[in-house]
């Protein structure tokens, strides 16, 4: 039986699969499997075709399956934004030679406005788009990754939902899209709470962090930075990856005692955990080898067999979260940290690895379903604690986290600051609509083995200023200089006024605005090119323009426009206009 042709937001929409039943509801196409065969559904399962007119130089934005992958550029020349595309030699989600995939959503900016093709759900199958030439015209094609599962093994015949949205502005486009996603995946309560402000141990001490390091920074928070409320103990406290309740010898008094000391000073303890992986030296791996994902031949699956193997303590083995005993284990670990240790925020890292494809005890389950089961087990133990996702599969995490890292790890160098800016700005629309965004920690001083120039730190702080979201220092607080202290004072004044993200008018990510209150509006301007850039700011009425950081007045008399010249290379300005 042939399915009928649809029109989504005026866009011709062609159902492709005879085995699927397509239904149009609330400007979304939902799909369910109705075939009588049991053939496996492969990873390139075409479900919808969208004939469309695309300008050759139209700007595009496509998300990635995992945090480190996004695609920008133009229709004719896509460009990887993240350091680790889904199809590179490390991640290997699909072949480097295959046509570029745009996971989750594809945004197209043309002279007449904006279009978005997007999946609004991700319960069982990853969805992605490709752009194809077909019969002389461009077509956007929507695919599902069936993970080669057999329909008769599925718990449900329900597939995923797709929408098409057109709008005159980016903010209107994203607002409409977010509403449709929320219908499928309601937000967690923490999405609308105040964004955490505080300190994280990782970028100051990395895996060498000690108990004394944390106590030294806690003292500075209490005496010099009282607005820093959260203390996030990152990777390095545990004996082994997987044994999260067993501390390393760098924490002689145990983690529970340290977190109690944090609470006694009026601060909120947070902790890092990579819940879905374990290293071979861990007790959990030694005692429960039957808890881990396997290859089809029955051998244990190491992450490096099929994807990036991990950044330390490898090889990583993957917990089979379709197994009830594993779910109970995860719940109990998190519950212990929450109820006995007093943890109020969990930073869940390496989440992507929980979604890897492999053989699990539950037949027919996809990696995404297994990941969501594992996340639900964590939620069951976390109570009212906040959950921050990191290195995560993006759309599979919908509705399961309060906050989400949207950029790569910060590193004190210009190239990484630029990368983080683009990654964060492309995802800043998600802030307080899907989750709170985390642009990663703010680093403002150099370390002996890692440093940048002052102008690069100035660019970095303008990115954080524009983005909003979580605000955690990654510097050793006892070493903060005057530049860093003044930066934090101004950043926190912005956070007190509003925690929204500034809005960009174009996918070029050069100019964004944010209304701070009824009297003041913030303009942030960014240059990424090797040539100087001129940009004109415009207000609704003659106004006073000031540099956000110094307070310097930039015009003698009220003016409706301000002309800025940004130097070549990575440069930026933050301008405050009094309305």
Q: What is the pLDDT of residues 487-497, one digit of tens each?
A: 999 999 999 99
| DSSP per position, 258-302 | HHHHHHHTT-EEEEEE-TTEE-TTSHHHHH-GGGB-B-TTSPBPB
Q: What is the mean pLDDT of residues 347-373?
A: 97
What backbone phi and psi angles, to 5 degrees, belong to 22? -105, 135
Query: Do the Cβ atoms of 350 and 274 come closer than 8 Å?
Result: yes
Residue-wise pLDDT for 306-315, tens only, equals 999 999 999 9
54-58, 134-138, 355-359: which is most confident: 355-359
Please list the alpha-helical segments (H only) found in 153-311.
Answer: 170-184, 202-205, 211-223, 255-264, 283-287, 303-306
Distance CA 89, CA 150 (A): 28
Per-residue pLDDT at 122 exceeds 70 = yes
Percent over 70 (pLDDT), the chain? 100
Query: Which residues make Cβ contacts (< 8 Å) with residue 195, sequence separation at least 6?
Result: 403, 436, 468, 469, 470, 471, 495, 499
Distance CA 558, CA 316 (A): 61
Per-residue pLDDT at 1 exceeds 50 = no
State whether the Cα torsion 499-500-503-509 is positive or negative.
positive
Query: Do the Cβ atoms of 289 and 299 come closer than 8 Å?
Result: no
Indicate the length of the chain as a whole number: 579
For residue 315, say if its preceding peptide bond is cis, omega within 30 degrees of 0.
yes
Would you give the distance in Å from CA 122 to the centre of its chain?
15
Beta bridge partners of 138: 52, 133
- b/e 35-50 (16+ beta carbons within 10 angstroms → b): eeeeeebebbbebbbb
- Using alpha carbons only, how large is the chain's radius of gyration in Å? 24
Q: What's the mean per-residue pLDDT of the chain? A: 97
What backbone phi and psi angles, to 5 degrees, belong to 456? -75, -40
- What residue has token string 């929409």? 13
pLDDT confidence band for 351 (50 / 70 / 90): very high
520-527/533-547 β-pairing: unpaired
pLDDT confidence band for 2 (50 / 70 / 90): low
Residue-wise pLDDT for 260-302, tens only, equals 999 999 999 999 999 999 999 999 999 999 999 999 999 999 9
Residue 517, token pair as written in the block: 């209150």
Percent over 90 (pLDDT), the chain? 97
CA nearest 35: which of 145, 121, 150, 160?
A: 150
Beta bridge partners of 564: 535
- 14, with CB counted inside 10 A (0-12, 13-18, 19+), is middle
- Residue 274: CA count within 13 A, CB half-sphere: 25
The H or E element spanning position 15 is strand 11-15
**What's the pLDDT score for residue 232?**
98
3-state secondary structure 43-104: CCEEEEEEEECCCCCCEEEEECCECCCEEEEECCEEEECCCCCCCCCCCCCCCCCCCCCEEE
**What's the pLDDT score for residue 168?**
97
403-405/137-145 β-pairing: unpaired
The H or E element spanning position 412 is none
Other Cβ atoms closer than 10 A to 295: 13
pLDDT confidence band for 156 (50 / 70 / 90): very high
Name all domains of the chain by residue range, CATH numbers in brackets. 5-184 (no CATH), 197-499 (3.20.20.70), 511-578 (2.60.40.1180)
Distance CA 487, CA 461 (A): 7
Tell if the pTM clears 0.95, that is, is over it.
Answer: yes
């Amino acid at each position: 039986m042939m399915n009928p042709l649809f029109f989504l937001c005026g866009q011709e929409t062609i159902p492709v699969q005879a085995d699927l039943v397509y239904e149009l509801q609330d400007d979304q196409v939902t799909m369910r499997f109705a075939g009588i065969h049991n053939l496996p559904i492969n990873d390139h399962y075409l479900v919808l075709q969208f004939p469309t007119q695309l300008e050759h130089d139209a700007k595009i934005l496509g998300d990635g399956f995992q945090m480190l992958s996004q695609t920008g550029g133009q229709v004719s020349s896509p460009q990887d934004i993240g350091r680790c595309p889904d199809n590179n030699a490390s991640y290997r989600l699909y072949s480097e030679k295959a046509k570029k995939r745009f996971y989750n959503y594809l945004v197209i900016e043309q002279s007449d406005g904006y279009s978005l093709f997007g999946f609004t759900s991700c319960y069982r199958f990853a969805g992605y788009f490709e752009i194809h030439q077909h019969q002389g015209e461009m077509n956007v094609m929507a695919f599902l990754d069936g993970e080669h599962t057999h329909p008769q093994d599925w718990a449900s015949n329900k597939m995923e939902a797709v929408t098409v949205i057109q709008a005159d502005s980016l903010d209107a486009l994203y607002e409409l899209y977010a509403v449709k996603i929320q219908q499928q995946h309601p937000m967690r309560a923490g999405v609308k709470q105040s964004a955490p402000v505080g300190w994280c141990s990782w970028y100051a001490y990395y895996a060498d962090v000690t108990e004394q390091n944390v106590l030294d920074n806690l003292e500075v928070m209490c005496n010099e930075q009282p607005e820093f409320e959260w203390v996030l103990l990152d990777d390095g406290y545990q004996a082994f990856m997987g044994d999260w309740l067993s501390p390393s010898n760098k924490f002689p008094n145990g983690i529970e005692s340290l977190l109690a000391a944090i609470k006694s000073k009026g601060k909120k303890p947070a902790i890092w955990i990579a819940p879905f992986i374990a290293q071979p030296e861990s007790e959990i791996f030694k005692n429960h080898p039957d808890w881990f994902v396997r290859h089809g031949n029955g051998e244990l699956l190491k992450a490096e067999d099929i994807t990036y193997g991990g950044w330390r303590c490898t090889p990583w083995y993957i917990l089979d979260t379709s197994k009830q005993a594993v779910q109970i284990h995860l719940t109990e670990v998190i519950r212990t940290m929450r109820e006995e240790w007093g943890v109020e925020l969990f930073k869940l890292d390496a989440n992507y690895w929980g979604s890897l494809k492999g053989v699990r005890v539950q037949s027919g389950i996809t990696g995404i379903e297994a990941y969501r089961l594992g996340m639900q087990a964590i939620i069951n133990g976390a109570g009212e604690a906040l959950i921050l996702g990191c290195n995560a599969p993006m759309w599979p995490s919908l509705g399961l986290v309060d906050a989400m890292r949207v950029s790569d790890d910060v590193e004190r160098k210009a190239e990484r600051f630029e990368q983080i800016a683009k990654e964060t700005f492309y995802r800043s629309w998600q802030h307080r609509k899907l989750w709170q965004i985390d642009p990663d920690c703010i680093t403002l001083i150099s370390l002996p083995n890692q440093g940048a120039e002052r102008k690069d730190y100035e660019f970095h702080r303008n990115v954080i200023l524009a983005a909003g979201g979580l605000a955690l220092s990654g510097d050793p607080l006892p070493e903060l200089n005057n530049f860093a202290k003044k930066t934090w004072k101004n950043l926190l004044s912005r956070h007190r006024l509003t925690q929204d993200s500034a809005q960009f008018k174009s996918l070029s990510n050069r100019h964004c605005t944010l209304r701070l209150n009824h009297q003041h509006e913030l303009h942030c301007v960014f240059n990424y090119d090797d040539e100087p850039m001129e940009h004109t700011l415009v207000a609704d009425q003659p106004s006073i323009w000031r540099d956000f950081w110094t307070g310097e007045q930039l015009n003698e008399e009220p003016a409706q426009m301000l002309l800025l010249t940004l130097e070549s290379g990575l440069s930026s300005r933050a301008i405050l206009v009094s309305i």
